[in-house]
Amino acid sequence: MSTISDDDAQFLADKRVVFVGKLGGVTKREAQQLVRQSGGIAVEKLTSDVDLVVVGADELPLLNQDEFLDQDTRRAAAEGRLEIISETVLWQRLGLVENEQNVRRLYTPAMLAELLGVSVATIRRWHRRGLIVPAREVRRLPYFDFQEVATARRLAQLLAAGASPAAIERQLAELSRYVPEVERPLAQLSVIVEGRRLLLRQGEGLIEPGGQLRFDFEALEQNDREDGIVRRPTVSLEEYLAESVEPPSADELLAFAAELEDAGHLDQAAEMIRVVLSAIGPVPDLCFQLAELLYRLGDLPAARERYYMAIELDENFVEARANLGCVLAESGQHELAVAAFEGALRYHGDYPDVHYHLARTLDDIGNRDDADRHWERFLELAPNSPWADEARLRLQRTHLTETLR
């Protein structure tokens, strides 16, 4: 597994680096750790002896950083005594954004969900709808880089503020009409989140509708709200089909299934996907999606069978293998779970989530030696994962036990 190369890290050697503003892709502690790994010196405050100032990706453009960069700092930069760059430029110079082979710096859907405090189903839904785009895919498993983490943070912020998924997508569609050359405005433009609103930043101003491009989620949701509660769709599958003049297409049915899922009607969403499967035949992705819904509904046996079906249709579907292992482990079938996880690793040996879940399962059945190997491998692959601290604590207990023997 590749790491930061000597050439990539050379420009940070012995330099004093300070981060200002809100970082987009990582925490400040993680960013400082990367600086130290690259031979730099991470400092907490902006002082006269700093060599490099890194402005967080979630802040204003570099020319509008009066809050962070005083006149002395800007003068020092103009005279070449220090350098000011954005967070994204730093990751690019370190080879962490452009190098798609470096899985250590990427997040799986489960890791990203844990990092943002949202469900894995939400991450997958954003992925399916193109709101976040993976840096690479390995046997159907998406990996997201720092830039997509920043985009996902904004989406999570909107959800936390009370904006519905449908309202978010409507706002992005509206924004796209003003900038048709941009396919993904949330990721490609300087868009900030203000409560439930998306604001497009241009120069020093925030663009609103009618020349300013200010988008109000409350106005969009006005018709759906009553007494402060967002009303979500409750139409049944039978009513939806009865109201359709023309037979709905598979894509229309799947879009409606997504709306039902967003509204929390998981049972109806599952039935809608079953209708599509019965119409077009078994498809690995839809079997997987149905398995996810069934798992969230608490129907573990049905979820298990759909994961099996997804794997039968596509033996390379490593995320289905991984989730099957999780369902088997949760059902108490630990030996079968181990077999499922090992099967996933045969197709994608560097899948960090599987090493994590396999290590936990091996611990559950008392196979500590094999578990240690997978805890260690997990940390090698994902040292900055939200689960990394758990792995380190587990390995520390092992080392302590060996020392006391």
C-alpha 109/C-alpha 107 separation (Å) is: 7
pLDDT at residue 315, as a whole number:
94
pLDDT at residue 163, as a whole number:
76
pLDDT at residue 211, as a whole number:
38
For the question of whether the overall pTM of this predicted structure is more than 0.75, the answer is no
pLDDT at residue 401, as a whole number:
74
Domain with CATH 1.25.40.10 in the chain: 237-404
pLDDT at residue 74, as a whole number:
79
Q: What is the CA radius of gyration of the chain?
A: 24
CA trace torsion 55, 57, 62, 65 (10° rounding): -70
Cβ atoms 266, 297 nearer than 8 A: yes
pLDDT at residue 13, as a whole number:
85
Domain with CATH 3.40.50.10190 in the chain: 6-93
pLDDT at residue 264, as a whole number:
86
pLDDT at residue 356, as a whole number:
97
The CATH architecture one would assign to domain 237-404 is Alpha Horseshoe (1.25)
Q: Out of 1.10.1740.10, 1.20.1330.10, 1.10.1660.10, 3.40.50.2300, which CATH number does the structure's domain 103-230 have? A: 1.10.1660.10
C-alpha 353/C-alpha 89 separation (Å) is: 29
Residues 6 or more apart in contact with residue 371 via CB below 8 angstroms: 358, 359, 360, 362, 363, 394
Domain with CATH 1.10.1660.10 in the chain: 103-230
Q: How many CA atoms lie within 13 A of 313 on its CB side?
A: 16
Q: Across all residues in the chain, what is the average pLDDT? A: 78
Taking 70 as the pLDDT cut, the residues of the chain under it are 1-9, 24-26, 57-68, 88, 96-105, 172-247, 404-405
pLDDT at residue 66, as a whole number:
54
pLDDT at residue 1, as a whole number:
32
Q: Look at the domain 6-93 and name its fold.
A: Rossmann fold (3.40.50)
C-alpha pair distances (Å), 304 with each of 95, 104, 300, 336: 39, 29, 6, 12
CA trace torsion 236, 237, 239, 245 (10° rounding): 150
CA trace torsion 270, 275, 276, 278 (10° rounding): 120
